[in-house]
A and B are shown apart, each in its own frame.
Chain A
Amino acid sequence: MRPESEVDRQPASSLAILEPLARALTRSVAERPADDGLFGPRSLVWRVHRDRSFAVAGIRSLMVQALHPLAMAGVAQHSNWEQDPIGRLAATSGYILTVTYGDTASVQQAGARVRAIHRHVNGTDSVTGSEYHAADPALLLWIHAAMVDSIVNVVQRYGRQLDAADADRYVAEMVRFAELVGVPAEQVPAGVAALQEYMESVEPLRATPAALHAISVVLDPPGLGDDMRELWHDIGQVAIGTLPGWARSMYGFGKPDPELMEREHVRQLIGALDLGYESLPGVMEARERIELRMRQ
């Protein structure tokens, strides 16, 4: 007495890809933090960084960041990301979440660890022939700005309400984020306009073979079940759609279907993915801890 279609499909472990990300969240949001950390529950940073559109913002960040040949070379030549791309993504995400929601001691520890890693990352980019150093404030600023720009862009478009004044405040609050890895505060854009200006001033940007390869892995990571691959693929398309035109053409991506980019549709997509994420052990509890502290 059962319908016969698709009977022999194997149950897929669809959510496995999200597990490292879930662990990163639960570890970063302590049950008993010693203090409110760098930003505090009233900050825009707290509000914006728990937005469910963060998956899209994250992919867009990586795509923009990778367009700086020296930043990309540092990752390509020194990181083992390719053996475990999701693990690498989770590590970055854990860092962002710890710096956001962690207490002061955890934040300082996380910052010190990243600065220590960066000290040993240097070399010569084979494409441009230029030397790079991961501790170079100019490179770190690029990484920071590309991320903040992506978050503002995506959250304004697909997240909960973030008006112009709040976006400015958010960018200003995030200066401390850049400072933590070693960018002098006075160099960091402290408003949306300044951020925009900075993003347009950086050159030369280009999609090196390393960048193209890295992004192809981000858009289609290994080990996805069929069903999850489709969802992930759609999220990737949306992220591509939010890129500035120049970035899209560097990668050779076309303009995505406007229907795909509609807010309602994207929110549904994010909702479906988020439901899977939230079902993983600890995620809902971590989100509740954040919510309750923000309500106090």
Chain B
Amino acid sequence: MSRRRTREVIRQSRLGRIAPLARLALRFGGRYLARSPQLLFASVERRTELRHDLALRSAEEVAEELGYMKGVLMKLGQMASYVDEDMPQTFRAAMGRLQHNAPPMSPELASSVIVDELGDAPERVFARWDALPFAAASIGQVHRAITKDSKAVAVKVQYPGIARSITSDLRNVALLRRVVSAAFPGMDVQSLIEELGERLREEVDYLLEADNQEYFAQYYEGHPVIHVPQVVRELSTARVLTTELVSGERFEKILQWDQHERDMAAETINRFVTRSLYRLHAFNGDPHPGNYLFHGGGRVSFLDFGLTKRFTDQDLVPLVEALRCLVIEKDGECFRSALEHAGFLKPGAPVPTETVVDRFGLFYSTVLQDAPMTITPAFASAIVRRFFDAKGPLAPYSDVPRTYVVLQRINLGLYAVLGSLNATANWRRIGQEMWPFVMGPPSTPIGEAEARWVHKRAERELAATR
């Protein structure tokens, strides 16, 4: 019997539910401990698409490539890349295209940034340093290294001068406005520019990212399937971010995995987003496929916390209310008033409540039914189209308040990711485990493992407060 066939049989059997769990437990134990830093270092492959032959050799070349509006506009393109549908091919094409092509820094230039930030050449700061980056980052690149106390780490190095250049470019609001309205006719230019500005100012400061990553890493410590790499504080500055090195499969690779593995990966991503929102009151901004690494058995490492949004309790109340009213209470009026409260819908709009439920309800359609549902690419595009539908009956009365702009973007990106995985799950049951007004029982093997982790976590916290 083939491996796949065996797996199928086990899955369908009565005991099937236990098998993945056992696998999880087995794999989890051996995951990092068995690997020496040298082996881990060696297992992280350099991405082949990096154009070392075109490496940037000076701050001047960096400015030429990414300064003078280019970096800023490329970032804008990245933000908008989740909403590909129905957008004209103007500057946006430029933004998307160039994003993948920013050349890396030459070894000498990257080294000079380390000298400026950490006080000495990388070969002396680290026990081992790979002079060639293994991955690109939006305003920098990532090197492998081993610290003097033998930790394998990923060192993100920012392009020199880029922070200053971005700050200056963001000040030229008039020009930004022109290009943005050229690239995104029909979008709210003002809010897009404000959001872009806020995000970019945060993103250029790696210390903020370090704070955010630590916040997530600390919360998810010991989680059975969600892994956030630890930050190495003493080797991080505003321009250099050093974190635990992770080796795993990239998104493109797991698209070839069998559906069961893809479903588990999707479940974990969904759990990470839901739990972070409802429990941590934080959103890790960028559901870009490149920000995940997959380890099989549903285990996923989450990278890149440059775009993190934290919510206050007040921010969350209307979201929780809307969800509760629609999904649990099935009360249209209650749902409508929650949307109005959040600012998504103008109060007193001359539109019947059924229409409101029908139009906005689509965004909740994965959790409306207590049944398995497959998120297909077509479903993901339908969501995006609805979101940007200018001609629908609610268009004149709806808006996305600034607090939730990032959240909305991320949601759309998340659907795109789950859609590419063609993932099936009972999303409702999974959601209910984490919704504060339900606190449902574990509904999957991963959920059971998570419940044990939650329990241990609570015990630990309780012990700490005593």
A residues in contact (CB < 8 Å) with B: 1-15, 52, 160-161, 225, 227-228, 230-231, 264-265, 267-272, 274-276, 278-279, 284, 288, 291-292, 295
Interface residues on B, range: 35 or more
A9 to B386, CA, bound (A): 19
A161 CB, nearest partner CB in chain B, Å: 7
A15 — nearest CB in chain B belongs to which residue?
B90
B92 — nearest CB in chain A belongs to which residue?
A279
A274 — nearest CB in chain B belongs to which residue?
B70
Which residues of the partner chain A approach B181 to less than 8 Å between Cβ atoms? Answer: 6, 9, 227
B169 — nearest CB in chain A belongs to which residue?
A268
The contact of A4 among B54, B68, B87, B399, by CB within 8 Å, is B399
Which residues of the partner chain B approach A225 to less than 8 Å between Cβ atoms? Answer: 182
Which residues of the partner chain B approach A4 to less than 8 Å between Cβ atoms? Answer: 188, 390, 395-396, 399
- A270 adjacent to B68 (CB under 8 Å): yes
- B175 adjacent to A269 (CB under 8 Å): yes
B365 at the interface (CB under 8 A from A): no
Instruction: Count CB-based A-B contacts (< 8 Å).
Output: 129
- B178 adjacent to A1 (CB under 8 Å): no
Which residues of the partner chain A approach B398 to less than 8 Å between Cβ atoms? Answer: 1-2
Please name the 10 residue pairs, one residue from A and one from B, whose CB atoms are nearest each other, closest first: A11-B88, A279-B94, A3-B188, A271-B68, A227-B182, A271-B69, A9-B185, A267-B68, A14-B90, A7-B390
A174 CB, nearest partner CB in chain B, Å: 23
B residues in contact (CB < 8 Å) with A: 51, 53-54, 60, 64, 67-70, 73-74, 87-88, 90-91, 93-95, 97-98, 101, 168-169, 172, 175, 178-179, 181-182, 185-191, 344, 360, 363, 386-390, 394-396, 398-400, 408
A197 to B408, CA, bound (A): 63
A133 to B386, CA, bound (A): 64
A272 to B180, CA, bound (A): 10
A45 CB, nearest partner CB in chain B, Å: 19
Which residues of the partner chain B approach A265 to less than 8 Å between Cβ atoms? Answer: 172, 175
A15 to B106, CA, bound (A): 32
- B54 adjacent to A264 (CB under 8 Å): no
- B172 adjacent to A276 (CB under 8 Å): no
Which residues of the partner chain A approach B60 to less than 8 Å between Cβ atoms? Answer: 160-161
- B178 adjacent to A52 (CB under 8 Å): no
B64 — nearest CB in chain A belongs to which residue?
A160
- B185 adjacent to A268 (CB under 8 Å): no
- B185 adjacent to A279 (CB under 8 Å): no
- A7 adjacent to B175 (CB under 8 Å): no
B94 — nearest CB in chain A belongs to which residue?
A279
Which residues of the partner chain A approach B399 to less than 8 Å between Cβ atoms? Answer: 1-4
Which residues of the partner chain A approach B387 to less than 8 Å between Cβ atoms? Answer: 1-2
The contact of A3 among B172, B178, B187, by CB within 8 Å, is B187
Which residues of the partner chain B approach A160 to less than 8 Å between Cβ atoms? Answer: 60, 64
A and B contact pairs by CB, cutoff 8 A, 26 listed: A1-B344, A1-B360, A1-B398, A1-B399, A2-B188, A2-B388, A3-B188, A6-B187, A7-B395, A9-B185, A9-B186, A11-B87, A13-B88, A13-B90, A231-B179, A268-B172, A271-B67, A272-B69, A272-B175, A272-B179, A275-B69, A275-B98, A279-B91, A279-B93, A279-B94, A288-B54
Which residues of the partner chain A approach B95 to less than 8 Å between Cβ atoms? Answer: 275, 279
With contacts A2-B388, A227-B178 known, is A12 near B69, CB below 8 A? no
A16 — nearest CB in chain B belongs to which residue?
B90
A276 to B64, CA, bound (A): 15
The contact of A291 among B54, B67, B70, by CB within 8 Å, is B54
- A268 adjacent to B69 (CB under 8 Å): yes
A93 to B73, CA, bound (A): 27
Which residues of the partner chain B approach A6 to less than 8 Å between Cβ atoms? Answer: 181, 185-187, 189
B63 — nearest CB in chain A belongs to which residue?
A267
A5 to B188, CA, bound (A): 6
Which residues of the partner chain A approach B93 to less than 8 Å between Cβ atoms? Answer: 279
Which residues of the partner chain B approach A11 to less than 8 Å between Cβ atoms? Answer: 87-88, 90, 185
Which residues of the partner chain B approach A230 to less than 8 Å between Cβ atoms? Answer: 178
B393 CB, nearest partner CB in chain A, Å: 12
B120 CB, nearest partner CB in chain A, Å: 29
A9 to B188, CA, bound (A): 12
Which residues of the partner chain A approach B67 to less than 8 Å between Cβ atoms? Answer: 267, 271
A276 to B91, CA, bound (A): 6
- B73 adjacent to A272 (CB under 8 Å): yes
A291 to B400, CA, bound (A): 44
B88 — nearest CB in chain A belongs to which residue?
A11
Which residues of the partner chain B approach A227 to less than 8 Å between Cβ atoms? Answer: 178-179, 181-182
- B185 adjacent to A275 (CB under 8 Å): no
A6 to B278, CA, bound (A): 35
A266 — nearest CB in chain B belongs to which residue?
B68
Which residues of the partner chain B approach A292 to less than 8 Å between Cβ atoms? Answer: 53-54
- B185 adjacent to A12 (CB under 8 Å): yes
- B182 adjacent to A264 (CB under 8 Å): no
